[in-house]
Amino acid sequence: MRYKPVVKFSNRRKNLSIQISNDGEIIVKAPYGTPEETIRLALEKHKKWIEKKLFEINQRDPKFLKRKFINGEGFLYLGNWYRLEIVK
Task: Write down the pTM of the prediction.
Answer: 0.65
Q: Rounding to the nearest 10 degrees, give the CA dihedral for residues 49, 69, 81, 87.
A: -140
- Domain count for the chain: 1
Model pLDDT for residues 1-36, shown as the tens digit of each residue: 567 899 999 999 999 999 998 778 899 999 999 999
Q: Is residue 51 part of a domain?
A: yes
Helix, strand or coil, per DSSP, at residue 65: coil
Q: Is residue 61 part of a domain?
A: yes
Q: Does the pLDDT value for residue 69 go beyond 90?
A: no
Q: Does the pLDDT value for residue 38 go beyond 60?
A: yes
Model pLDDT for residues 41-54, shown as the tens digit of each residue: 999 999 999 999 88
Domain ranges, residue 78 = 6-83
Q: Is residue 32 part of a domain?
A: yes
Phi, psi of 69 (to 5 degrees): 55, 55
CB within 8 A of 2, min separation 6: which ones? none
User: Who has greater pLDDT, 68 or 10?
Assistant: 10
Q: Is residue 88 part of a domain?
A: no
**How far apart are the C-alpha atoms of 41 and 84, rounded to whole Å?**
36
Q: Is residue 1 part of a domain?
A: no
Spatial CA neighbour of 65 closest among 22, 27, 26, 5:
22
Q: Is residue 33 part of a domain?
A: yes
The Cα-based distances of 33 to 17, 27, 85 in angstroms read 15, 17, 40
